[in-house]
A and B are shown apart, each in its own frame.
Chain A
């Protein structure tokens, strides 16, 4: 069960991540570079138009993520972000098309290639904290990584394109 997640750059503003549900509905998260976040809901008649958008503070976004079943760990990681400027945490999805779906974590060589640290793998309701290089990766897994902005962007490319 892989979920389609699209990432789009918004030059001058930030990025937008879209999750597309099985029934074809689209939910977007606009991450402003200034740190603000917006949750955008897309219409049925016009799939390109955000029919409503809700601005979220850091805490509200974290709360929403918690409610949606993401691990408690994210809340703790949010603390790291405040302590170390320039360091970010990000969730990255292993799509079915990823060359590393079915491989072990070590195969990505993420640490040497992108200088990011993969701190956990979320699989369904399970969380694998501090995964080792031989931890397996599956399509649909979410990776939680800590790193600099360019590092995380590089990691996202590595995970999709190899």
Chain B
């Protein structure tokens, strides 16, 4: 068969399958990410129906998927929101980083994977999935809840922290050593500060490059600039994803709003391709041996994430049920963990990292939203109420003596 024809057939069939999966995920109320990953596993190396001609498409599409995921994230937040969140939830952000990155790092060291894999796994367990969590909050109609700003602030800080973390990891995985990692960090900090400053003070200047009301030129222009900056960033080892994120932040106002709507379908397409590709390049058989560490890591980091959220909500003056809602809502890991794992796996520092990350994300992304729903159930409320009365009784008896 002709190569181009084969490519169209393979890619078409996969996309068609993904559409069904996405619909199914929506129906049963979960994120489509785990299903995309499983689909990738099924079609990949050692899967039951390996793809062949479509591989190049999926490779490039997945690069684009990462860039679009990050660019959209940058577009979503205004520079003011980033600064305010940073000011208000700095402590929660630090606690979040310490509590959730350390278990990952420790796990990699215990498994004897070395310091670079430890940095990668720390990132994988640290960052929650903004995409999955935003969807859960919407689905459970919690956007109006008083704890929601706390949840969102933590997500904003994590996403901003990625702008510093990813360049360091990129420098480390190409074997440039810790000194180069430190240089990358300094460069990233400077670039992010400059971009934030420009976006805050002169956001209109960058946005003026584009015509907000001309969809076609806006789409091509923003996509072009994003890819260009991502490419340049990659070239100087600051990670393409971070370049894209910064373009997103630098754009503001109507240009940002309109390009968000224009890029959303592209993001959906290529992000799906990215998750499938990640699954494709992971051998299903390699998951089994790392299933136990992944499960232990999932349990531990779900607990630490819940603690993070609980403490952050408590500091924001939220009541006990709201603290549990905050904690559980933050537990799903998703797109970012896969982005990090992809970055680390691509350079081949540890072959077992990608399967572990796959299993880990599959576990948390399914368990997280279920835990988030649990706080709405009658028995959980009864449990909290019972604990509340018991605590009150104890307090009373203490007062009495």
Query: Interface of A with B (CB < 8 Å)?
Result: 8-13, 16, 18, 26, 28, 30, 33, 38, 40, 42, 46-50, 52-53, 85-86
**Across the two chains, which residue of chain B brings its CB closest to A85?**
B254
B143 with A11: CB separation less than 8 A:
no
25 A–B contacts from the bound complex (CB under 8 Å): A9-B81, A9-B149, A10-B149, A11-B149, A11-B156, A12-B152, A12-B156, A16-B148, A18-B146, A26-B146, A30-B143, A30-B144, A38-B144, A40-B145, A46-B319, A47-B146, A48-B147, A48-B318, A49-B145, A49-B146, A49-B322, A50-B145, A53-B143, A86-B253, A86-B254
Which chain B positions have C-beta within 8 A of A50?
141-145
B319 with A48: CB separation less than 8 A:
yes
Per the bound structure, the CA–CA distance linking A12 and B148 in Å amounts to 12
Which chain B positions have C-beta within 8 A of A85?
254
Least CB distance from B144 to A in Å reads 3
B134 with A12: CB separation less than 8 A:
yes
**Across the two chains, which residue of chain B brings its CB closest to A35?**
B257
Per the bound structure, the CA–CA distance linking A9 and B152 in Å amounts to 9
Task: Answer whether residue B153 sits at the interface, using C-beta atoms and an 8 A cutoff.
Answer: yes
Which chain B positions have C-beta within 8 A of A8?
149
Task: Answer whether residue B283 sits at the interface, using C-beta atoms and an 8 A cutoff.
Answer: no
A46 with B321: CB separation less than 8 A:
yes
Query: Interface of B with A (CB < 8 Å)?
Result: 76-77, 81-82, 84-85, 130, 134, 141-149, 152-153, 155-156, 253-254, 257, 318-319, 321-322, 325
Which chain B positions have C-beta within 8 A of A12?
76-77, 81, 130, 134, 152, 155-156
6 additional contacts (CB under 8 A) given A11-B84, A47-B146: A10-B148, A12-B134, A12-B152, A16-B143, A28-B144, A85-B254
Per the bound structure, the CA–CA distance linking A52 and B156 in Å amounts to 26
Which chain B positions have C-beta within 8 A of A46?
319, 321-322
B322 with A33: CB separation less than 8 A:
no
B153 with A11: CB separation less than 8 A:
yes
B81 with A48: CB separation less than 8 A:
no
Which chain B positions have C-beta within 8 A of A40?
143-145
Per the bound structure, the CA–CA distance linking A10 and B152 in Å amounts to 7
A48 with B149: CB separation less than 8 A:
no
Least CB distance from A128 to B in Å reads 32
Per the bound structure, the CA–CA distance linking A42 and B147 in Å amounts to 12
A38 with B156: CB separation less than 8 A:
no
A13 with B321: CB separation less than 8 A:
no
